Structure formats: C-alpha cells, structure tokens
C-alpha cells in the first residue's frame, strides 16, 4: 500500500482527486441553493457528446467536452430565463440527446465502448501530467471566482428580484454560475466520470448542510467533505485493488465515501432540527381558558428533565404531548 | 415633462402589458420625498405590477418613469432604493444565516471583490436591531417564523441605508405581534424622513402611518388622496371580484418566477 503511494501516477491521481473535491462543492452549493441539484447531472450527459466529438475529430476530448458543456450550460440558462412551463421537458430532451448522441458518435468514430467508459466513470489513475495542470488551474479558477463573487452570487440566487433592484446584473451572474458548473463537470470528469460528476458537486453540500446554519459554513463544510472524500475514496479503492486483487474503480468509491458522510450527518441534522422545533417559543395568545391538568404527581422545575419552553411571562414544560404550566399548587394545560 | 421639485418617483402615462394583455393603463403617479403612500386594490388590480414597474422589474410598454429626477434608463443610484419583494419565505435551498441575508442589502454600497468592512457590519447590525431581530443574527433564516422572515427581508432593504422604500405585501400572512414589529420599524423610517411606497391587502397596525392612499382597480388609478376610512377600502376590495380577477391560466406562465415560493399577484 505504502509503495503504491510512491508511484507518480498515484501521486497525480491524489492531487487531482483533492483539487476536484475542493472545487466541485463550491459550485454545488450554488446549484443546491437554486434547487438545481440535478442540473450538474444533465450537464454531465451533454458533455458526453463533447467527449465523443473529441474522439471523432482527434482533438483532445477534454477541450471538446469543455466547449460542448459550456454551450449546453448557456442553452439551459436561456431556457430557464425564458421561464416557459415546458423548460423542464426541454432540459430532459437536451440531456438525453447529449447522452445518446455521445454514445452514437463514439461508434461512428470507430472507438470502442471501453474508451468512452473511461470518461463515463472516470480514469483518475491514468491522468497525465498535462491533465494535472489543466485540472489544477481550472480548479483554482473555480474556487477563486466562486468564493470571490460569493456575496453577489449568493444574493442573485437567494432573491433575483431583490438583486436586480440592487443593481446587480442577474443574467450575467446566472451565466457565470452556469459556465462554472459546465467547467466543473469537465474537470470532475477525469476523477469520478461524467455519470457521477454531479455527485461530487451535490453530495458534499447535502452532507454539510445537515449541520450548518449559514451559507458560508455550508460551502466550507462541503469543500472539506468533497476533498476528504476525493482523497479517502481514492485511497480505499487503491487499498482494495492492491491488497485484495479486486478492481474497484476510484470514481464510484469517492462518491460512496461522500454519501457515507451524508448518512453520518443526516441523523444529527434531523435531531437538531427536531429539537429546534420543540424549543421554538409558543406564540403569544390572548386569555386562555383555565384548564387544569389531570392528576400530576411530578413537580416541574429547572433541571426536572422535561423540555422547558418560554411562553409569555412563564415557562411551559413539554412532555407526552402536553404543555404544563404551574398555576398555584396544580398545573394547567397551555 | 413637468418636474415636481422634490419628487422621488415620477410615473407619467405608465402602461404595462404582460403577454399582450394590458395590466396597467395610463398611470400617473408622483411621490414626493418623505411621503408614506399605500397602494390598495383588489387582487388582480395591478398593485404588485405597479410596484414592479416602479422598481424597473417590469418594463413599461408606454410612458416614462423617473426616480430622483433621473430617467430610469440612466438611473444608477441603486443604493437609494430599498426593495422588499413579495415572498412567502426568505429561505432557499441551502441554509443561510440571518446576517448573510441582511448583508445582501449592503451590495449596493460595496465594491466588487472587496470584503465587507466595518461600516457594512455596523449597518447590518443596526438594521437587525431596528426590526428587533438582533438576537437571531446567527440563526438559519429558515428556522424563523414567517413574520420574522418578513422582518429579515425588511432589514435587508434597510441595510443599504436607502431613502426610498418599495414594500410589496410585507404583512401578508404575518401574525399580529409581528405586524406591530413591522409597523414600529416603518414608523422609525418615516420619522427619519424616508419615502415609503407600500402595497398591501390589509393595513392593520400600519394604518396610522399612512399619509396618502392610491387605490387601483383593473389597472387604473381609481382614487388618490388622503387615507380612506377602512370600510371604504374594504368596499373596494370586494366590490367586483369577478371582473377584476385575472384569468390565472393566461397570466401564470408569463408572470411566473421560479425563485418565488409565494403566490404572485399582479
């Protein structure tokens, strides 16, 4: 295992997994904020046609994929901006056309399915030195733009009407997000593959937002989970392949590690949200009819173990579906 | 064009058509500095469309609009506008803290790629203080009640320190204590000399603040003057429901906004 880390191809793969895991959740946070979690998936499908065009024409598939994904992203953004009710359907047509076209063009190019599969499921261990530079530069650019324009991009996604009246160019910022998502797709293509590209953008954010209370914390948490899953998943797959002579692809392993992070944080988030709901102060109401609780041998007080929630000028104790407030020697239902 | 000296909003012969169907017709509206104006009218009378036209969100098909004496096409003083859109919620797909949402209001005064300065943070804190939510600054906005979220949206508009406010149904679906908190915040603005243009269904605790009422019906100004007796306004509200309801099947796809959770009235 240790000597495996000494190989240059493994070091390159680790670096690629780390930086893509770092960059993808930055854009993913904006996509989740816009409730467009599946958009990355669609762009991945469109990029398949780009890869196939590269294989057909002999141009590097990375570049043709970037070009086609950006064209696809701009088309999607125009469809979304028009706001037609059929936008959902138009996007579906675009996505399936991208995938089917890609597979067909690969056939026309006389390439085998195995070549395309490298792009569909990733081939991080075969990444070349040039590819590493491409991945590094693009990832840094994504992080710089995504973090640098955070106040503007956040505002535009949060409330486009407000953003426009604040003088922001809403369409331009929407295009920035779309193009960044397209570029992220092609960068992550080498790491996890086009079919799982969206997972690296979305799953870390989903895991992070279970525990976070702010946008910045969600993005930071997503980046930590993404980079961690990238490196962790690659190491796990390398270990399994090395020690047990299995061929476990790194891409799916990375996504599974990220999903495990979500599975781990989700119950905590659920518990937190439930506690928050229970602790919310009760609304102030007018006079309440006097309704004494039934036989109540227990005496409530600070530290009695029951949930204490402020209500107007007193405290209600919540247990077994009742709200009990002290009233002289007995308890009232509130 | 005759200019009123201290006019902050001047709409002359304004008309808006959505999908070829006229929604607003021949609207003349001049708001002077420091006025507190409410736009009233039944559903579909064009109140929200008018406020969206005044902020430039809805382009005019006819007429001219000037803000602070500048024709809208060359208007760039966005920091002078505070806009509270009609929204059911201040939340989106990702958690956002109250401070983060309110900080959006400072963008009109911040330069690109510069971090928020001390003045920005102070303005955000002051805005939260004014709406009475200083203690919730670090909480996820989605965990606040509907009325508190409306107050967050008002604080966001306040944070940019504007002198002209447009508020679209800020009290819709807000409980009474929160309506009082809203009224207190707006009273403070009015005292400070801000101009307020407010669309509302029901004035409630805001009634004492109103200096002028504009009633719309079917896209035209029907009344413009001193505040009406509450029963009059109520009469306008229900007089001809059948005539003033827009055809939802026609308006909805064109007036739709993918980011708005609440219903959009025209």
Segment B51-95, tens digit of pLDDT: 999 999 999 999 999 999 999 999 999 999 999 998 878 888 899
Q: Is the pLDDT of residue A229 over 80?
A: yes
Question: pLDDT, tens digit, for every residue of B190-244?
Answer: 998 999 999 988 888 888 899 999 999 999 999 998 887 654 544 444 444 434 4
pLDDT average, residue stretch A220-246: 92
How would residue A273 be classed by pLDDT, with cut points 50, 70 and 90?
Answer: confident
| H helical segments located in A127-196 | 129-148, 150-158, 160-165, 170-192
Tell me, rounded to whole angstroms, the distance of Cα A322 from its chain centroid: 39
Give pLDDT, residue A277: 78
Identify the band that residue B35 occupies on the pLDDT scale cut at 50, 70 and 90.
very high
- Best residue of A162, A173, A174 to probe chain B, by most B CBs closer than 10 Å: A162
Alpha helices in B68-136 (DSSP H): 98-103, 118-130
Percent over 90 (pLDDT), chain A: 51
* Beta carbons of A162 and B83 less than 8 Å apart: yes
Contact B97/A214, CB-based, under 8 Å?
yes
* Window 157-176 of B, Cβ < 8 Å to A: 157, 160, 166, 175
A-chain residue closest to B109, CA distance: A166
B100 or A86, which is more confident?
A: B100
| pLDDT for the residue numbered A284 | 62
Residues sharing a CB contact under 8 Å with residue A259, sequence separation 6 or more, in sequence order = A199, A203
Q: What domains appear along chain A, each with residue ranges and CATH number?
A: 2-202 (1.10.3470.10), 294-334 (no CATH)
Tell me whether B156 touches chain A (CB under 8 Å). yes
Q: What is the pLDDT of residue B245?
A: 40
The answer to whether B44 faces chain A, any CB pair under 8 Å, is: no
Taking residue A111's Cβ as centre, other Cβ atoms within 10 Å add up to 15
Contact B55 A284 (CB under 8 A): no
The domain made up of B7-255 has a fold known as Rossmann fold (3.40.50)
Q: How confident is the model at residue A321 (pLDDT cuts 50, 70, 90)?
A: confident
A92 in Cβ contact with A155 (< 8 Å)? no
pLDDT at B184 over 80: yes
Residues 6+ apart with CB under 8 A from B190: B36, B196, B209
Split at pLDDT 50, 70, 90, the class of A283 is low
Complex prediction ipTM: 0.84
Mean pLDDT of B145-173: 90
Give per-residue pLDDT as tens, A96-147: 999 999 999 998 988 877 888 888 888 888 888 888 998 999 999 999 999 9
Mutation target among A213, A216, A220, A281 for the B interface, most CBs of B within 10 A: A213
Q: Which residue has the higher pLDDT, A319 or B16?
A: B16
């Amino acid at each position: 295992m240790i000597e495996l880390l000494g190989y240059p191809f493994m070091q390159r793969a680790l670096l690629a997994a780390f930086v893509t895991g770092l960059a993808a959740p930055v854009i993913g946070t904006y996509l989740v904020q816009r409730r467009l979690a599946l958009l990355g998936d669609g762009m991945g499908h469109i990029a398949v046609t780009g890869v196939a065009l590269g294989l057909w024409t002999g141009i590097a598939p990375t570049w043709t994929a970037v070009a086609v994904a950006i064209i696809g992203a701009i088309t999607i953004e125009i469809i979304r901006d028009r706001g037609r009710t059929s936008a959902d359907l138009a996007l579906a047509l675009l996505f399936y056309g991208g995938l089917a076209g890609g597979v067909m063009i690969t056939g026309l190019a006389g390439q085998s399915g195995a070549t395309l599969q490298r792009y569909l499921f990733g081939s991080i261990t075969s990444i070349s030195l040039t590819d590493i530079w491409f991945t590094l530069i693009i990832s840094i650019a994504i992080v710089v733009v995504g973090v640098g324009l955070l106040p503007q991009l956040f505002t535009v996604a949060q409330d486009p009407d407000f953003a426009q009246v604040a003088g922001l160019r809403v369409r331009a910022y929407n295009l920035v997000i779309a193009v960044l998502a397209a570029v992220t797709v092609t960068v992550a293509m080498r790491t996890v593959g086009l079919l799982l590209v969206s997972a690296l953008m979305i799953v870390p954010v989903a895991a992070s937002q279970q525990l976070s209370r702010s946008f910045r914390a969600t993005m930071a948490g997503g980046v930590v989970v993404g980079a961690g899953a990238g490196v962790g998943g690659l190491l796990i797959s390398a270990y399994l392949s090395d020690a047990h002579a299995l061929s476990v692809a790194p891409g799916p392993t990375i996504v599974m590690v990220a999903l495990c992070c979500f599975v781990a944080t989700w119950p905590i988030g659920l518990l937190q949200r439930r506690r928050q709901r229970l602790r919310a102060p009760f609304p102030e109401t007018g006079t309440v009819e006097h309704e004494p609780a039934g036989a109540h041998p227990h005496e409530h007080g600070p530290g009695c173990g029951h949930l204490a929630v402020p209500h107007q000028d007193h405290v209600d104790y919540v247990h077994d579906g009742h709200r009990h407030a002290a009233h002289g020697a007995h308890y009232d239902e509130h | 064009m005759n200019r009123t000296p201290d006019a902050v909003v001047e709409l002359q012969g304004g008309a808006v058509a959505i999908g070829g169907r006229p929604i607003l017709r021949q609207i003349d509206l001049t708001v002077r500095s420091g006025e507190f104006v409410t736009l009233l009218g039944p559903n579909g009378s064009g109140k929200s469309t008018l406020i969206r036209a005044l902020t430039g969100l809805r382009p005019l098909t006819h007429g001219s609009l000037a803000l602070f004496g500048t024709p809208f096409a060359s208007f760039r003083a966005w920091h002078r506008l505070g806009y509270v859109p009609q929204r059911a919620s201040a939340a989106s797909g990702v958690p956002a803290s109250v401070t983060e949402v309110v900080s959006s209001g400072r963008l009109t005064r911040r330069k690109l790629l510069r971090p928020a300065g001390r003045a920005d943070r102070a303005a955000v804190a002051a805005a939260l203080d004014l709406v009475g939510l200083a203690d919730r600054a670090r909480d996820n906005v989605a965990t606040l009640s509907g009325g508190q979220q409306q107050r967050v949206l008002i604080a966001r508009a306040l944070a940019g320190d504007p002198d002209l406010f447009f508020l679209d149904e800020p009290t819709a679906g807000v409980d009474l204590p929160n309506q009082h908190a809203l009224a207190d915040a707006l009273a403070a603005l009015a005292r400070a000399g801000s101009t307020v243009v407010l669309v509302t269904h029901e004035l409630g605790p805001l009634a004492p603040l109103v200096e002028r009422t504009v009633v719309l019906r079917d896209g035209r100004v029907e009344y413009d003057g001193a505040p009406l007796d509450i029963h009059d306004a109520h009469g306008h509200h229900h007089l001809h429901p059948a005539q003033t309801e827009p055809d939802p099947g026609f308006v909805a796809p064109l007036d739709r906004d993918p980011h708005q959770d609440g219903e959009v009235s025209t």
